[in-house]
Structure 1
Amino acid sequence: MSYIKNIKFNYFQVLNNYTNGEGNPTAFSMTDWADTIDKKTLLKKHIELSKCLAKIEYISHFEISDIWKVRLHRLAEYNIPQTSKNGEDAEDVELQEDEYLGYDCNLIYDETNGIAMIQRSKYSLSIERIEELLNKTSFLKDRFITIKPIMNSNNINKLIQNGKKIEISFANITNAIPETKSPLASIINSFFKLKGVAGNVTIGVGRGKDVQVVKENNKEKIIKTERFLGKKETIQLIDDIRSNPDIVTRGIVTLRDEEDTNVEVVDLFDDVFIDIIQFQLEQRKTLGIEYVMNEMIQTYEEKKGKILISLKSDK
């Protein structure tokens, strides 16, 4: 008997960033990465990450459209399920010493445009762990790899023009975090210095005036300049919020239409390019690699044009 399963996919940019801060980020080369995995014989090997074990299960290149197909596993040895037979006691699933449960994460990568389509699920590798895996296995020691969600540019413009209030919630603040492009790190690290482990910040935004007094020809002159959160600063703040999901648990922007005073709320964690694909599975069977990859490629090709337009307008 078969059944339908809905699986969510998000779209990301995968970028190489120079550790010294010089130079602009470039698209991640999965061709070079795959060569490294092959040379180091890391395919199907267990790789230790900071919070779990992972495994690169499958890598393949679809030459027609220059798309890479990858399956990763998060390996689990906790919360092991039980088997249950009718009329009998349930029994634990017994794993051998070097055996784990594997939760798959399927992704495709358009190397020409630096765009990844990644499966999201509760038990698979998180984006942070995938990022860690890429950096740990990369041969480029002078650069670090980041995975950045792709947001609809129309929504960014809406946030800039009509944003009235930004609400950010924090949790699990156990350490100071590295400097971010926006002042987000300063806010989080202030909570850490005050021994806080959680908190909320509400920032009222909009257009105001900065007043500066300067001397000109021995006379004081008052200069007023417009003060607002610009496009660059907005994008930086959104990127930083989404790059720290272990700490930032909520990012909400309240918009207001001045004409009718209606209020709209935008969740920064949801306001990104996503797709949900329906798969038909047989009971007691896992999702076949070629089946899922082909469906992902077809869906991506249909949306690629819109994503490229959004990325172009963000520059």
Structure 2
Amino acid sequence: MAFSKNVKFDYFKVYATRYNKEKEVVEEIPCDLSDLFRQLQGIQVTERVYWMGDDQARLQNLECINDKWNLHFVRIRKSDFPIITKDDGTYSYFEDFEDDEGLGEEISALYDPSNYIIMMRRNRFSLSPTAVSNYFTSVINEPGFNVIFRPLIHPRAVELLRKDHLIRSAEISISDIKNARTTTKKSLGQILDKAGDIKESVNIRFKISIEPKGSKKSSRIPIYEEIEEMVNDPNVQKLEVRRKADENSSVEPVDLIQHRLVDYYQFKESDFDTQARNILHETVISRMHTLYRKRVEEINNTYV
């Protein structure tokens, strides 16, 4: 059976907060990190380190290609190592690490200074986007100056769901059901009306989905109209659906309240490096450039 790995990529717009002495207010403005990156290129890699508790974050490499910056970070662990397991049922420990060695978790990032967008891929145990923005803040080291990554949010997320889509599941969260709109209560059914009799706020979490195993590719949950009624109710805190554009498409998640721009790509076995037993940064960043080129027009016209 061929091996594959589905990887998620997140998009953020880079901002900076700084104190405006003339207006006596803290301003948040788009931030171009290009000057910072050129400064970092002149610093030895051993000095490009940021401490996170007992772990280190290091900017391993950065380069500018076609007016975009490729960034390669590693988070270095020197404690809390995992164990080595064997198929015969035994396990052992990492014993031959020197004091200057550790386990590294990688993160790849692509930065486009033309619209202040940073695209990031990370592993489960690697740096968070906040940790990376804190790294940049620490290098700039200017009082009152902070680098912030804001997720790209679709301004009209409800438009991402159409009536002809095949809705496979929906997850809904409503706060204070008594004060939700009547249409929302009706959409969820009479059981929600009963909750309104309780003399205090009641939160409800509702999830409906088709059982994937054994279901037809054309199966759908016929709740488009109900979802359309609920999406503009301010008491609806969460409204996520998993839908397919048609029966031959993949299932995709859509957050109809606050949809963040993300991409997924399935790396195949041929993308893996046999020595590293992983996907190399060079392979990942190359794919990121391809995905970004397909997204940049949408980003500039919709999300920014």
Q: TM-score, normalised by structure 1?
A: 0.60
Matched, 1:37 2:40: yes
CA distance 1:84–1:110, change in 2 (3 Å): same
Matched, 1:295 2:287: yes
Instruction: Give 1:297 shift.
Output: 0.7
Unaligned runs of 5+ in 1: 159-163, 168-200, 207-251
Matched, 1:304 2:296: yes
CA distance 1:27–1:43, change in 2 (3 Å): farther
Q: How does 1:185-200 map to 2 (within 5 A)?
A: none
Contact kept, 8 Å, 1:36 with 1:138, in 2: the verdict is no
Contact kept, 8 Å, 2:32 with 2:113, in 1: the verdict is yes
Amino acid at match of 1:266: L
Contact kept, 8 Å, 2:173 with 2:239, in 1: the verdict is no
Q: What SS class does the counterpart of residue 99 from structure 1 fall into?
A: coil
Q: For 2:34 and 2:94, how far apart are their aligned partners in 1?
A: 38
* Cα RMSD for the two superposed structures: 3.8
CA distance 1:43–1:305, change in 2 (3 Å): farther
Q: Deviations over 1:216-250 (max 9, x none)?
A: xxxxxxxxxxxxxxxxxxxxxxxxxxxxxxxxxxx
Q: What SS class does the counterpart of residue 3 from structure 2 fall into?
A: strand
Contact kept, 8 Å, 2:111 with 2:118, in 1: the verdict is yes
Q: For 2:286 and 2:35, how far apart are their aligned partners in 1?
A: 23
Q: What SS class does the counterpart of residue 11 from structure 2 fall into?
A: strand
Q: Which residue of 2 aligns with 1:234?
A: none
Q: Which residue of 2 aligns with 1:197?
A: none
Q: Which residue of 1 aligns with 2:74?
A: 73
Instruction: Give 1:311 shift.
Output: 3.2
Q: Deviations over 1:55-110 (max 9, x none)?
A: 11111111x2x111101112223442233456584221132222221111111011
Instruction: Give 1:49 shift.
Output: 2.5
Q: Which residue of 2 aligns with 1:27?
A: 30
Q: What SS class does the counterpart of residue 25 from structure 1 fall into?
A: strand
Moved more, 48-57 or 96-105: 48-57
CA distance 1:32–1:260, change in 2 (3 Å): closer
Moved more, 295-304 or 36-45: 36-45
Amino acid at match of 1:12: F
CA distance 1:42–1:135, change in 2 (3 Å): farther
Given candidates 278, 281, 300, the residue that maps to 2:272 is: 281
Q: For 1:150 and 1:260, how far apart are their aligned partners in 2?
A: 23
Contact kept, 8 Å, 1:30 with 1:68, in 2: the verdict is no
What is the total number of aligned residue pairs between the two structures? 226
Matched, 1:18 2:10: no
Q: For 1:303 and 1:136, how far apart are their aligned partners in 2?
A: 30
CA distance 1:204–1:55, change in 2 (3 Å): farther
Identity %: 19
Given candidates 43, 58, 79, the residue that maps to 2:61 is: 58
CA distance 1:311–1:277, change in 2 (3 Å): same
Unaligned runs of 5+ in 2: 161-171, 182-204, 206-222, 232-237, 241-254
CA distance 1:205–1:35, change in 2 (3 Å): farther
Q: For 2:290 and 2:44, how far apart are their aligned partners in 1?
A: 31
Moved more, 143-152 or 263-272: 263-272
Q: How does 1:86-125 map to 2 (within 5 A)?
A: 87=88, 89-94=90-95, 95-125=97-127
Q: Which residue of 2 aligns with 1:180?
A: none
Moved more, 123-132 or 4-13: 123-132
Q: What SS class does the counterpart of residue 60 from structure 1 fall into?
A: strand
Q: For 1:14 and 1:271, how far apart are their aligned partners in 2?
A: 18
Q: For 1:150 and 1:7, how far apart are their aligned partners in 2?
A: 18
Contact kept, 8 Å, 1:3 with 1:281, in 2: the verdict is no
Amino acid at match of 1:119: R
Amino acid at match of 2:6: N
Contact kept, 8 Å, 2:19 with 2:26, in 1: the verdict is no
